[in-house]
Amino acid sequence: MAAVKPYWKGYLKLSLVTCPVALSPATSDTEKVRFHTMNRATGNRVASRYVDSVTGKEVDPDDQVKGYERGEGDYIILEEEELDAVALESVRTIEIDMFTPRDSIEWIWLEKPHYLLPNDKVGEDAFAVIRDAMRAENVVGISRLVFGQREHAVMLEPRGEGIVLWTLRYGDEVRPEEEYFSGIKAKPEGGLAPLMKQLIKAQTKKWVPITDPIQNRMQELIAEKKKTLKPKGKRKIEPVSKDNVVDIMAALRDSLEREKRGKSQ
């Protein structure tokens, strides 16, 4: 299996030690069966559009903004520039702010794993020094990072020759377990525990990755459907109007200008 192309590149920094790094997701759901919503009568895909909830009219992308509901039907409008202003100043550097013992961060705070690795040969030594020092001290690094249009708290954990970067849940995203478990008062009879331990021991095995049976059945169903359907002829592609080409070109030029202005600031 080929390595996934990194979707974030930047720098790992600890004090004066800096090295170029690349970040890739450690998990994938691209192999899962995905469906489109279709029109049964025509066999065509159903397109979704943003419409005004009151007028019912379609809203142009340039008029779509974020809104925070402070009361029923009462929203605070936030422009893109205002949202950008509260993000981290640097979105290209993972600067380790502190270290903490690995076992001090419980599983419930871990959100999603990513593979962090050196992005060039020159920086491999610096990367390895940071990785090996954390492993020797049995600590993980804590930092912040902006990607996917969101600021994340992250944990850096040595693993093999690389580092696993975990996005972390914030404090208000984890519900206190006491709210759910405090009402459990059951105390099993003394003779039940030894029997349960024997049962657990008999069923204890080495863990292996689990396959998704529903996905397997979906793929089998789709394969059976393919056998019964006749292949469709190629759909005629309508030529793109000149007006559309002009609009797209203008949008691309505007995007490039916005990128240049952002880099120069």
Could you report the per-residue pLDDT of 35-53, keeping only the tens digit for each?
Answer: 888 888 888 888 888 999 8
pLDDT at 149: 67
Banded model confidence at residue 2, pLDDT cuts 50, 70, 90: low
Kindly tell me if the per-residue pLDDT of 246 is higher than 50. Answer: no
pLDDT at 248: 46
pLDDT at 257: 67
Measured in whole angstroms, how far is the alpha carbon of residue 182 from the centre of its chain? 33
Residue 221's Cβ-count burial label (10 Å; 0-12, 13-18, 19+) is: exposed
Q: What is the pLDDT of residues 80-106, one digit of tens each?
A: 777 766 655 556 889 998 999 999 999
Banded model confidence at residue 245, pLDDT cuts 50, 70, 90: very low
Q: CB count, 10 Å around CB of 175?
A: 9
Instruction: Give first-to-last CA distance, the chain, whole Å.
Output: 41
| CA distances in angstroms from 6 to 94, 122, 156, 229, listed in the order given | 15, 18, 17, 38
pLDDT at 99: 96
Contacts of 187 (CB under 8 A, 6+ apart): none
pLDDT above 90 covers what percent of the chain? 32
Q: Which parts of 37-100 fold into alpha helices (H)?
A: 80-85
Q: What is the distance between the alpha carbons of residues 130 and 200, in angstroms, rounded to a whole number?
A: 40
Query: Cα–Cα–Cα angle for 153, 156, 159, nearest 5°?
Result: 150
Looking at per-residue confidence, does 242 or 30 come out higher?
A: 30
Query: Mean pLDDT across the stretch 164-175?
Result: 93
Banded model confidence at residue 65, pLDDT cuts 50, 70, 90: confident
56 backbone φψ class: left, alpha, beta (φ>0; ψ -120 to 50): left
pLDDT at 242: 44
Query: Mean pLDDT across the stretch 149-178?
Result: 92
pLDDT above 70 covers what percent of the chain? 81
